[in-house]
């Protein structure tokens, strides 16, 4: 997951500016004067009532729907910077700062009801560690466990479908509190059965996969997501490719993507 530098903005009225970013662009107050945006951008507000304010900066804000965000900006007291760059989505905030809107996310993801993950290469970096007795282990990312919790709070069910027969899949699923089916030979058939069991239409299923054995399941799912280092054929199939490679925060990034369309 990409790390966004914190933008520091000089403002005349912190409360007024915070309200603008919360109502207009989906930011949330994280700590005192620190706001966090839909995709992890952070904005620190510093009050300068008698000096120059944010008019000297341009900062980019990632949004799932630029048109809706533009409307919200205007309704929250911002304006359109038409005289600067005619057709580019550039807007003016309450302290004169210029805001560039850029689209990110998964269109329509507000309808997702079930997220299904492959395990190796999604929740792990696809490596396996083998000791002298042949016992296998993998490395998982704690931020993904946190992401699972965020997605649960959105009311979305989650589970793992894996071809791996090792019990480590079930152990990790138990740890993060979701269901898992491993040793799956036919992921397409397994996904159909799972959706029927959950009474969820396949068009409302989001599948996260990284390799060619995920092709059938991804083709059936309404939403398709792949890690940055997935097989080229899977990258071509995906509706959204995470900035994170497998095992390095794929699920945590997905949590931000799904949260952004529900704000």
Mean pLDDT (whole number) for 133-156 = 94
What pLDDT is recorded for position 200? 97
Q: Which two tokens stand for residue 102?
A: 């850029």
pLDDT > 70? residue 72: yes
pLDDT at 236: 95
Core vs surface per residue 34-71: b (16+ CB within 10 A) or e: ebbbbbebbbebeeeeeeebbeebebebbbbeeeebbe
Architecture field, domain 7-103: Roll (3.10)
Where are the domains positioned within the chain? 7-103, 109-260
Choice between 88 and 212, residue whose per-residue pLDDT is larger: 212
CATH class of the domain comprising 109-260: alpha beta
- Please name every residue paired with 181 in a beta bridge, in sequence order, or none if there are none: 161
Helix (H) or strand (E) holding 100: strand 98-103
Q: What is the mean pLDDT of residues 115-138?
A: 92
Per-residue pLDDT, averaged over 31-45, amounts to 90
Rounded to whole angstroms, the Cα distance separating 66 from 102 reads 7
Query: Is a pLDDT exceeding 70 seen at residue 2?
Result: no
* CA 28 vs CA 21, 42, 72, 227: distances in Å: 8, 10, 15, 27
Query: Stretch 107-126: mean pLDDT, rounded?
Result: 95
Percentage of residues of the chain with pLDDT beyond 70 = 94
Question: What is the model's pLDDT at position 83?
Answer: 59
Please report, rounded to a whole number, the percentage of residues in the chain having pLDDT higher than 90: 64
Average pLDDT over residues 49-55: 69
| Mean pLDDT taken over the chain | 90
Structure confidence at residue 66 (pLDDT): 87
Matching CATH topology for 7-103 and 109-260?
Answer: no
Q: Residue 154 region, left (φ>0) first, then alpha (ψ -120 to 50), else beta?
A: alpha
pLDDT class for 142, splitting at 50, 70, 90? very high
Does residue 92 carry a pLDDT above 70?
A: yes
Query: What pLDDT score does 166 carry?
Result: 87
> Mean pLDDT throughout 225-237?
96
Q: What local confidence, expressed as pLDDT, does residue 86 receive?
A: 59
Segment 165-216, tens digit of pLDDT: 888 999 999 999 999 999 999 999 999 999 999 999 999 999 999 999 999 9
The whole-angstrom separation of Cα 261 and Cα 263 is 6
Segment 125-148 shows an average pLDDT of 92
Confidence check: pLDDT of 47 > 70: yes
């Amino acid at each position: 997951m990409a790390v966004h530098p914190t933008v520091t903005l000089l403002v005349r009225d912190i409360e007024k500016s915070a309200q603008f970013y919360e109502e207009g662009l989906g930011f949330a107050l994280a700590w005192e004067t620190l706001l966090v945006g839909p995709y992890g951008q952070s904005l620190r507000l510093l009050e300068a009532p008698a000096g120059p304010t944010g008019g000297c900066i341009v900062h980019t804000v990632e949004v799932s729907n630029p048109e809706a965000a533009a409307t919200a900006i205007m309704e929250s007291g911002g304006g359109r910077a038409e005289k600067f760059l005619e057709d580019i989505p550039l807007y003016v905030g309450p302290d004169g700062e210029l805001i560039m809107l850029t689209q990110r996310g998964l269109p329509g993801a507000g309808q997702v009801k079930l997220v299904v993950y492959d395990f190796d290469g999604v929740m792990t970096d696809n490596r396996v560690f083998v000791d002298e007795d042949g016992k296998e282990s993998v490395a998982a990312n704690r931020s993904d466990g946190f992401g699972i919790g965020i997605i649960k709070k959105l009311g979305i069910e989650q589970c793992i479908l894996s071809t791996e027969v090792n019990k480590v899949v079930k152990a990790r699923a138990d740890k993060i509190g979701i269901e898992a089916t491993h040793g799956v030979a036919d992921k397409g058939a397994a996904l159909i059965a799972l959706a029927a069991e959950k009474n969820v239409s396949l068009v409302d299923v989001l599948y996260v996969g990284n390799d060619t054995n995920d092709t059938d399941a991804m083709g059936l799912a309404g939403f398709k997501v792949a890690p940055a280092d997935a097989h080229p054929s899977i990258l071509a199939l995906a509706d959204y490719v995470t900035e994170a490679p497998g095992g390095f925060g794929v699920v945590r990034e997905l949590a931000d993507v799904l949260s952004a369309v529900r704000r």
